[in-house]
Amino acid sequence: MIDARRLAYLEALGVDVYVPRGAARAAQLENAVAPERVAGHVPALNEPAPVAAGVNPPVDVQGLDWNALEATVRGCTRCALHQTRTQTVFGVGNRQARWMFIGEAPGAEEDRQGEPFVGRAGQLLTAMLKALGFRREDVYIANVLKCRPPGNRDPRPDEVGQCRGYLERQIELVAPTLIVAVGRIAAQSLLGTDTALARLRGRVHGLGHRGWPLIVTYHPAYLLRSPGEKRKAWQDLLFARQTVRRLEAGERVLP
Ligand code: SF4
């Protein structure tokens, strides 16, 4: 049911929600989802990254608990980004969350505060979560990269390759019902594809050899620049919620 509180958040998001007379229509809006399709491609997140001569082999953090993993990340010097970071940005939230949101990399504010998705984009993500009925601390939030690329440039493939073992271990530890890849860079990095974000949306992908269910949506920083796309982001989140419900009912969402 879309209640007054959720409508207020949707208004804050800039999503126009038409609510005509009657609860039936409200329920219809609540349950409206993007057409579901499933993906046949299941990329292997844990496949070894190509290792060039002189480059570190993939990080081995299998078996580490949260404290050991966080300490390892804090001291990491596996790629050049450690030279320019203020601090690592590990991740935040409920470590037993059903929903895990993954962005691309820390920005300037995240680098300063040591927390992912802060600043204006983070506030919008928090508003999106509230529109879904979550507090920020109900979900787990992390990035593909734990250190800020200088000048907010895109992560480089070698940096993603060096860092991704940490994220893989975070995913294993959280064991979420659903992963939401936030933004093009995160989606493409996680799925190992250069397919446009628009074509990755609206379906369930399987991530890694475990086939973690993953859906894709827009980055809130993009939504701030392109507010006309907020409605699509809301559709993605409704699709995500329907997917979680199906998974928790034991339904198969992947081929
Ligand atoms: S970005 Fe990842 S791999 Fe590179 S130094 Fe930071 S934690 Fe290590």
DSSP-based three-state secondary structure for 229: helix
Distance from the CA of 164 to the center of ligand 1, in angstroms?
9
User: pTM for the complete prediction?
Assistant: 0.83
Ligand 1 binding pocket includes 163 (Cβ within 6 Å): yes
Ligand 1 binding pocket includes 74 (Cβ within 6 Å): no
pLDDT per residue as tens digits for the range 128-163? 999 999 999 999 999 999 999 999 899 999 999 999
Q: Are 122 and 58 contacting, i.e. CB atoms less than 8 angstroms apart?
A: no
Query: What pLDDT score does 221 carry?
Result: 94
The pairing of beta strand 99-103 with beta strand 178-182: parallel
Query: What pLDDT score does 13 carry?
Result: 62
**Run means of pLDDT, 10 residues per run, the chain, 255 residues:** 59 55 38 34 43 65 96 97 98 98 96 95 95 95 98 93 96 98 96 96 94 97 95 96 97 87
Ligand 1 binding pocket includes 76 (Cβ within 6 Å): yes
**In the structure, how many helices (H) and strands (E) does the chain have?**
10, 7
CA 79 to chain CA mean position, Å? 22
3-state helix, strand, coil in the chain (%, to 5): 45, 10, 45
Query: What pLDDT score does 20 carry?
Result: 44
Q: Which of 56, 60, 77 to mutate to test the pocket of ligand 1 (most atoms within 8 A of CB)?
A: 77
Q: Which atom of ligand 1 is nearest to the CA of 82?
A: 5
* Average confidence score pLDDT of the chain: 85
Query: What pLDDT score does 128 carry?
Result: 94
Q: Which of 72, 87, 147, 148 to mutate to test the pocket of ligand 1 (most atoms within 8 A of CB)?
A: 147
Query: What pLDDT score does 57 carry?
Result: 74
Q: Which of 143, 160, 162 to mutate to test the pocket of ligand 1 (most atoms within 8 A of CB)?
A: 162
Query: What pLDDT score does 7 carry?
Result: 61
Ligand 1 binding pocket includes 232 (Cβ within 6 Å): no
pLDDT per residue as tens digits for the range 215-244? 999 999 999 999 999 999 999 999 999 999
Give the Cα separation of 251 and 245 in Å (integer).
Answer: 9
Query: What pLDDT score does 209 carry?
Result: 87
